[in-house]
């Protein structure tokens, strides 16, 4: 008998029939003798609808009140799934994030999990119940409802698996695993049987939408066995995310290509070239809770330089406002922005032992006339910022150049 945590996304819970399908899938695992905990998202589109409704009612809703409203979507689905489980003869118990005491910080709409009280769940499992937990939500130390941000139900599922020391955490979604890249752009993309946590963490951070990055961080930190599966296919092993690469096999140089359309570039022009200037620019940006990605500082010219970095497009207007305030303080000339950017990245642990990967990537893009505007690297990835109009071309030619359609 194993303890399994399953997470079902909004698409999986998108209709009464789909909820019944989830219940039947859970019943199969219970019939095999396994204990099952299920984390669920709101029905597909429900969270966005509630956010839009809240913003329509209030021009600037309090984040605490917004959390209360948008958390109701998951509260509906936990009740519906429990009803479906009861209908097929299974005992089930539902919990909201507050009831199961998923303790978070107080960063409303972007909260982080601090602790989980797993004792009530264990009692219900020992009593033969299926435990259904609302994903995406928790409670702060003052008892206020919090939400974890987009994709937060993945994080809930993995965090529950870590707290319960589950044998496996299964993430059910609308794809049957992790692919070398998006099959909608490259039809020849392959499903990966395995991928390392390190590679998956890079893929998630670089724009792959299969798993939320914080979920991968949790799984890697607590060594949670993590598997991505399709909620619409009865068979299939999905993709297993492992702690380390298989040492018994020749590792491919590149495992996948990720991309992100949601990029914008900001440039502070005429910045005094002196120690501490990067902090004076990025400190206020960080204080505004804006994530910064790629950073470039040009060579000094006459004592001044240009400082560029990228942010998510949704944060662009806020970042520009922050920088306009910084500009006068540091004596910069002006602030420029560009919404036409995207990021394309190659990822693979095999890069550690194969030289020439960067030159191959740059040559491939150059042969297609694609200009690279910014570059960032880590031990197992190379990312470039390019014009968004070249995104699909870049992904296709890189996928072919590194032979990802062929596998080992």
| Pair of tokens at residue 44 | 């597909």
Sheet holding 304-311, edge to edge: 292-297, 304-311, 256-272, 334-347, 381-387, 374-378
Residue 367: count other Cβ atoms within 10 Å of its Cβ. Answer: 10
pTM of the model: 0.80
Helix axes 213-221, 197-205, angle to 10 degrees: 160
What is 176-201 written as a DSSP string? Answer: SS-BSS-TTT-TT--B-SEEEHHHHH
Helix axes 16-31, 72-87, angle to 10 degrees: 60
Looking at residue 1, its pLDDT comes to 83
What is 203-258 written as a DSSP string? Answer: HHHTT--SS-HHHHHHHHHTT--EEEEETT-SS---EEEESS--TTSPPPS--EEE
List the domains of the chain with CATH numbers: 3-174 (3.40.1160.10), 257-401 (3.30.2130.10)
Nearest to 153 by CA among 71, 91, 79: 71
Each residue's pLDDT tens digit in the chain (408 positions)?
899 999 998 888 888 999 999 999 999 999 999 999 999 998 876 666 666 655 655 666 677 766 776 678 888 999 999 999 999 999 999 999 989 999 999 888 888 999 999 999 999 999 999 999 999 999 999 999 998 887 789 999 999 999 999 999 999 988 889 999 999 999 999 999 999 999 998 888 776 778 888 888 889 888 999 999 998 887 789 999 987 655 544 556 899 999 999 899 999 999 998 899 999 999 999 999 999 999 998 877 788 999 999 999 999 999 999 999 999 889 999 999 999 999 999 999 988 888 899 999 999 999 999 999 999 998 999 999 999 999 999 999 999 999 998 754
Looking at residue 408, its pLDDT comes to 46
Rounded-to-integer distance, Cα 320 and Cα 325, Å: 9
Looking at residue 151, its pLDDT comes to 76
Looking at residue 248, its pLDDT comes to 44
Q: Which residues contact 302 (CB under 8 A, 6 or more apart)?
A: none
Residue 127: count other Cβ atoms within 10 Å of its Cβ. Answer: 10
Looking at residue 244, its pLDDT comes to 63
């Amino acid at each position: 008998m194993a303890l399994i945590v399953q997470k079902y996304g909004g698409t999986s819970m998108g209709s009464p029939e789909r909820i019944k399908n989830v219940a039947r899938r859970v019943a199969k695992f219970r019939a095999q003798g396994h204990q099952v905990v299920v984390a669920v998202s709101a029905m597909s589109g429900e969270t966005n609808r509630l956010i839009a409704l809240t913003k329509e009612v209030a021009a600037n809703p309090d984040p605490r009140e917004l959390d209360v409203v948008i958390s109701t979507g998951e509260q509906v689905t936990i009740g519906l799934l429990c009803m479906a489980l009861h209908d097929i003869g299974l005992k089930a118990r539902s919990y909201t994030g507050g009831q199961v005491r998923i303790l978070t910080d107080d960063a409303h709409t972007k909260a982080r999990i601090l602790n989980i009280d797993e004792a009530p769940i264990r009692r219900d499992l020992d009593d033969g119940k299926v435990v259904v937990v609302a994903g995406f939500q928790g409670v702060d130390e003052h008892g206020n409802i919090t939400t974890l941000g987009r994709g937060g139900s993945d994080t809930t599922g993995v965090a529950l698996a870590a707290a319960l020391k589950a044998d496996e955490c299964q993430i059910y979604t609308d794809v049957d695993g992790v692919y070398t890249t998006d099959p909608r752009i490259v039809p020849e993309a392959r499903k990966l049987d395995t991928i390392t946590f390190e590679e998956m963490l890079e893929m998630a951070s670089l724009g792959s939408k299969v798993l939320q990055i914080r979920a991968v961080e949790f799984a890697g930190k607590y060594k949670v066995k993590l598997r991505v599966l399709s909620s619409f296919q009865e068979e299939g092993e999905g993709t297993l995310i492992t702690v380390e690469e298989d040492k018994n096999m020749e590792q491919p140089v590149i495992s996948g290509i990720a991309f992100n359309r949601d990029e914008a570039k900001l440039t502070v022009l005429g910045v005094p070239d002196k120690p501490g200037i990067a902090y004076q620019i990025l400190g206020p940006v960080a204080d505004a809770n804006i994530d910064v990605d790629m950073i470039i500082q040009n060579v000094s010219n006459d004592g001044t330089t240009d400082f560029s970095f990228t942010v998510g497009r949704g944060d662009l207007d806020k970042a520009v406002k922050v920088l306009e305030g910084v500009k006068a303080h540091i004596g910069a000339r002006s602030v420029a922005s560009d919404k036409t950017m995207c990021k394309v990245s190659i990822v693979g642990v095999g890069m550690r032992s194969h030289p020439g990967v960067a030159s191959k990537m740059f040559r491939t893009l150059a042969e297609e006339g694609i200009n690279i505007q910014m570059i960032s690297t880590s031990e197992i990835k190379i990312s470039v910022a390019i014009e968004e109009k070249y995104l699909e071309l870049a992904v296709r030619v890189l996928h072919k150049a590194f032979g990802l359609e062929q596998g080992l």
